[in-house]
């Protein structure tokens, strides 16, 4: 029985860890479903409709930091700094283009994800604010926060490569504590959907774990009985809290953790549950890799490996949906709402595959 169970595990035979792509793809899948709002969809039973203990955003930021930490150990300091700075530029450029592009779309009368842009604003002043990441619109704030974290990443990597990881951990924890006690002290001049000082803990926590992943793996390999016991305890606790949520057995917890604006606070009870479910998802995909990958890997791995493309395109897909159809009326039917979600996912997924095929053919053409 144990041998049969181990046969389902992740094989760990490739350089690229596909589990991370799968997990980031799942986070983006949830983001697509929850952002492309329908009155009703079968997918909401999977995503929680942004009304669960953890949302897609926590996974997105944590896995982004985790991936950078893993890459840094393979690339070395100088190449890592070059990679981070170039990635920061790409993210910044995309953030500004999303903000100003959708302002223009709304200005000419198209319906977008957010409320209408306030046309009484001074356009030049708004553009200046967008260029400095002070202004955001139509989801650009999610990436703006990512850009801000990336700007601090070179300093964090420098400390870790010099053997001072404890400084990064201490600074991140102190900033989080200040965000919960004296939030004004750690405010930054960036307009986003989230409370930056609290959310940095997920990104830099992922960065530290990714950087020291090999050491952690060796530790857990030596203590595999403890690892497995804690793993099963994590999965059982995760399942228990799902039952508590579905049956509303602890309304006070639901109100404290989710409340009205949960993502802006990331208070410590929610943070603990986020950590629990991040670990639970990682264990699930590790222990049950073969069935989960066979069923969903074809969709989630491309979405996760092209995360910035997926994020950008899920905003673009909303334009035809919201402007070519009577979207609100149509999606009141659960089957139509589900069909629109399926269509959106397939458009994004197809665009990734088509772009990669086009890029590969161009490389071959240049080589020929």
Of residues 257 and 1, the one with the higher pLDDT is: 257
pLDDT of residue 344 exceeding 60: yes
CA neighbor of 111 nearest in space, from 99, 102, 124: 102
pLDDT category of residue 197 using cuts at 50, 70 and 90:
confident
For 368, what's the count of Cα atoms within 13 Å in the CB-facing half-sphere? Answer: 6
Chain centroid, CA 72 distance in Å:
20
Q: What is the pLDDT of residue 90?
A: 97
pLDDT class for 366, splitting at 50, 70, 90? low
Max Cα separation, the chain?
68
Q: Which pLDDT does position 343 carry in this prediction?
A: 95
pLDDT tens for each residue of 46-55: 898 878 899 8
Average pLDDT over residues 31-43: 88
- Which position has the token pair 């989710």? 258
pLDDT in the model for residue 286:
95
**In the predicted model, what is the mean pLDDT of residues 319-330?**
87
Residue 42 has a pLDDT of: 92
Instruction: Give residue-wise pLDDT tens across range 68-114.
Output: 999 999 999 999 999 999 999 999 999 999 999 999 999 999 999 88
Check residue 364 and give its pLDDT: 64
The DSSP 8-state label assigned to residue 294 in this structure reads I
In this prediction, residues 6-13 reach a mean pLDDT of: 87
Can you give the residue range of the structural domain that contains 156?
2-367
pLDDT score at 252: 87
DSSP 342: H
Is 264 a residue whose pLDDT tops 70?
no
365 pLDDT tier (thresholds 50, 70, 90): low
What pLDDT is attached to residue 230? 96
CA 70 to chain centre: 17
Stretch 345-355: mean pLDDT:
96
Confidence grade of residue 266 (pLDDT, cut at 50, 70, 90) = confident
pLDDT greater than 60 at residue 368: no
Query: By mean pLDDT, which of 112-121, 164-173, 250-259, 329-338 is the weakest?
Result: 250-259
Query: What integer is the mean pLDDT of 203-223?
Result: 96
Rounded distance between C-alpha atoms, residue 67 and residue 69, angstroms: 5
The whole-chain average pLDDT of the chain stands at 91
10 Å Cβ neighbour count for 339? 16
Q: What is the pLDDT of residue 258?
A: 79
- Which band of pLDDT confidence, cut at 50, 70 and 90, is reported for residue 327? confident
Helices (H), the chain: 2-6, 18-35, 44-47, 56-75, 77-107, 123-131, 140-161, 165-181, 196-211, 213-222, 224-247, 251-257, 262-265, 268-287, 289-292, 298-305, 307-316, 318-324, 327-330, 334-367
> What is the per-residue DSSP string for 202-215?
HHHHHHHHHHTHHH
What are the contacts of 261-266 at 24+ separation with CB within 8 A? 262/55, 263/55, 263/57, 263/193, 263/194, 264/193, 264/194, 264/195, 265/195, 265/198, 266/58, 266/194, 266/195, 266/198, 266/199, 266/201, 266/202
Collapsing DSSP states into helix, strand and coil, what is residue 25?
helix
Which pLDDT score is estimated for 257? 85
Q: How far apart are CA 157 and CA 176, in angstroms?
A: 19
Task: Determine the pLDDT at residue 363.
Answer: 66
Phi then psi for residue 30, to 5 deg, are -60, -40
Give yes or no for residue 13 having a pLDDT over 90: no
Q: Looking at the predicted structure, is the pLDDT value of residue 285 above 70?
A: yes
- pTM comes to 0.94
> For 114, which DSSP code?
S
Total structural domains in the chain? 1
> What is the predicted pLDDT for the residue at 193?
58
């Amino acid at each position: 029985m144990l041998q049969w169970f181990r046969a389902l595990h992740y094989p760990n035979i490739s350089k690229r860890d596909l589990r991370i792509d799968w997990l980031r793809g799942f986070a983006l899948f949830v983001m697509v479903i929850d952002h492309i709002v329908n009155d009703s969809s079968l997918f909401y039973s999977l995503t929680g409709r942004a009304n669960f203990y953890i949302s897609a955003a926590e996974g997105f930021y944590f896995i982004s930091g985790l991936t950078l930490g893993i890459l840094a150990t393979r690339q070395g300091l100088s190449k890592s700094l070059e990679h981070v700075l170039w990635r920061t530029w790409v993210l910044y450029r995309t953030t500004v283009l999303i903000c100003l592009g959708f302002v223009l779309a709304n200005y000419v009368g198209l319906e977008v994800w957010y409320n209408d842009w306030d046309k009484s604003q001074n356009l030049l002043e708004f553009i200046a604010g967008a260029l400095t990441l002070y202004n955001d619109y139509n989801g650009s704030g999610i990436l703006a926060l990512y850009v801000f974290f990336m700007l601090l990443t070179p300093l964090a990597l420098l400390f870790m490569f010099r053997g001072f990881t404890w400084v990064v951990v201490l600074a991140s924890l102190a900033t989080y504590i200040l965000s919960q006690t004296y939030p004004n002290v750690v405010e930054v001049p960036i307009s986003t959907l989230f409370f930056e000082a609290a959310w940095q803990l997920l990104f830099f926590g992922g960065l530290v774990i990714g950087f020291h992943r090999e050491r952690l793996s060796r530790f857990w390999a030596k203590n595999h009985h403890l690892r497995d016991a804690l793993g099963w305890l994590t999965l059982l606790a995760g399942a228990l809290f799902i039952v508590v949520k579905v049956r509303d057995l602890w309304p006070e917890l639901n109100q404290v953790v989710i409340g009205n604006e949960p993502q802006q606070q990331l208070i410590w009870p929610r943070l603990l549950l986020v950590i629990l479910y991040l670990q639970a998802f990682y264990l699930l995909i590790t222990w049950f890799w073969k069935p989960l990958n066979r069923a969903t890997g074809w969709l989630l791995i491309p979405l996760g490996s092209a995360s910035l493309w997926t994020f950008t395109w899920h905003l673009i897909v909303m334009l035809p949906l919201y402007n070519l159809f009577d979207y609100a009326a149509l999606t009141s039917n659960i089957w139509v709402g589900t069909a629109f979600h399926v269509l959106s996912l397939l458009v994004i997924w197809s665009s990734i595959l088509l772009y990669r095929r086009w890029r590969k053919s161009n490389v071959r053409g240049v080589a020929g």
